[in-house]
């Protein structure tokens, strides 16, 4: 047992739980640290930050937007997250429907459906999107707001004319995502897909999507493509490696991209810097992408792929079945270069790295 003369260490823990503004509305040192110092020879302060608030988890869009303007991938995300039974503080669609103003008989009817959250959308399509976001915050689903935030980046200041939800009909939940349950059959492809500068592969293929501007990063990409192609050739040429930048049909951008995405056995996202976030993933709204607002066909296809990967991930219940992440070994902090969503929850491999390259090849070719 220590004596009274022993120098004991004092541990001070300050917890802030009831601050609506979280760590955004005040200075940590002013609010969390004690004003007086301890007499102990060793002082340590462990700060447990207060949870992020709803208004910081998902900034509010323009007042002109209605719930009917919500992108289909955002709708699917909300259905996946809010259709589950309520457990403790994890409130579901039932609480949202009550707070947003649905009547008891409407809620009772929705209970009998297989996709209650989608039914809620049909009843409230004329309600403002701001109202929906605030209600999600009111039921305490900050996790949903954090996931929803990147899916709203593509909303422009002008109200969209495309309605994702149709009030009296079942909505097309695959409005721009190709069906993923068809087996690859190159013979089934039409001649229009076999374009002059790009022949659609007759065997399984893996697509590498990416975006970089620096010379060194482009060099690393070429090294990766060559390395993967070398492994593919050793697999009895059963696979072909495709660089997304060389799979462009400027006369039929959207359709060619759809078929490439649909039939790819796997898709690899190679990231070497913040270029991908700055130029690709910051345009999430698929409607604006398909309208071909980008000057570069390559940029358009890369954005389409990014939208479709998000769509497939959400439609699979937030499970990643065929997307891989490879980071350049020049990346210091992955969170600074990875887009929000599935890329941050997926196992990441580093290249060049001998051991990790072997591991990613096992996932891709075996």
Q: Name all domains of the chain by residue range, CATH numbers in brackets.
A: 10-48 (no CATH), 54-152 (1.10.533), 186-365 (3.40.50)
- The residue behind tokens 């969503």 is 341
Asked if the model's pLDDT at residue 325 lies above 60, the reply is yes
pTM score above 0.75 = no
Is the CB of residue 151 less than 8 Å from the CB of residue 71? Answer: yes
User: What are 61-90's pLDDT values in tens digits?
Assistant: 888 889 988 888 888 889 999 998 888 778
Asked if the model's pLDDT at residue 217 lies above 50, the reply is yes
In the chain, the percentage of residues whose pLDDT exceeds 90 is: 36
| Distance from C-alpha of 111 to C-alpha of 119, rounded to nearest angstrom | 9
| Distance from C-alpha of 102 to C-alpha of 341, rounded to nearest angstrom | 31
Cis amide bond preceding 352, omega within 30:
yes
Higher-confidence residue: 351 or 238?
Answer: 351
In the chain, the percentage of residues whose pLDDT exceeds 70 is: 69
Asked if the model's pLDDT at residue 349 lies above 50, the reply is yes
151: tokens are 């899916």
Buried b / exposed e over 242-266, threshold 16 CB at 10 Å, is bbbbebbbeeebeebbbbbbebbbb
Buried b / exposed e over 150-170, threshold 16 CB at 10 Å, is bbbebbeeeebeeebbeeeee
Average pLDDT over residues 26-54: 51
243: tokens are 């660089």
Average pLDDT over residues 342-348: 89
Is the CB of residue 228 less than 8 Å from the CB of residue 269? Answer: no
| Distance from C-alpha of 109 to C-alpha of 101, rounded to nearest angstrom | 15
């Amino acid at each position: 047992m220590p004596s009274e003369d022993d120098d004991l260490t004092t541990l001070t823990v300050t917890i802030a739980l009831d601050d609506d503004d979280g760590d955004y509305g005040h200075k940590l040192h002013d609010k969390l640290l004690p004003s007086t110092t301890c007499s102990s020879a060793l002082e340590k302060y462990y700060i447990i930050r207060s949870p992020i608030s709803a208004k910081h988890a998902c900034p509010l869009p323009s007042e002109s937007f209605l719930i009917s303007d919500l992108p289909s991938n955002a709708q699917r995300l909300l259905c996946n997250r809010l259709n589950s039974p309520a457990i403790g503080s994890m409130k579901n669609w039932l609480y949202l429907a009550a707070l947003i103003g649905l009547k008891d008989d409407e809620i009772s009817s929705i209970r009998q459906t297989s996709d209650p959250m989608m039914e809620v959308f049909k009843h409230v399509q004329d309600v403002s999107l701001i109202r929906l976001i605030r209600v999600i915050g009111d039921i305490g689903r900050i996790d949903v707001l954090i996931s929803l935030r990147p899916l709203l980046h593509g909303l422009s200041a002008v109200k969209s004319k495309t309605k994702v939800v149709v009030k009296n009909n079942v909505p097309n939940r695959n409005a721009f995502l190709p069906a993923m349950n068809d087996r690859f059959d190159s013979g089934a492809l039409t001649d229009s897909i076999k374009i002059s500068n790009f022949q659609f592969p007759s065997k399984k293929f893996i697509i590498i999507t990416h975006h970089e501007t620096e010379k060194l990063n482009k060099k690393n990409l070429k090294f990766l493509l060559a390395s993967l192609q070398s492994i593919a050739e050793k697999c009895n040429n059963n696979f072909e490696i495709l660089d997304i930048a060389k799979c462009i049909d400027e006369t039929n951008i959207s359709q060619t991209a759809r078929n490439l995405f649909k039939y790819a056995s796997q898709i690899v996202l190679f990231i070497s810097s913040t270029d991908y976030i700055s130029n690709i993933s910051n345009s999430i709204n698929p409607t604006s992408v398909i309208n071909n607002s980008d000057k570069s066909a390559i940029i358009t296809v890369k954005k389409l792929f990014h939208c479709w990967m998000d769509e497939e991930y959400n439609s699979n219940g937030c499970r990643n079945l065929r997307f891989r992440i490879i980071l350049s070994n020049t990346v210091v902090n992955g969170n600074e270069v990875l887009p929000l969503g599935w890329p941050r929850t997926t196992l990441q491999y580093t290249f060049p790295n001998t051991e990790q390259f072997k591991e990613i090849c096992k996932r891709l070719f075996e």
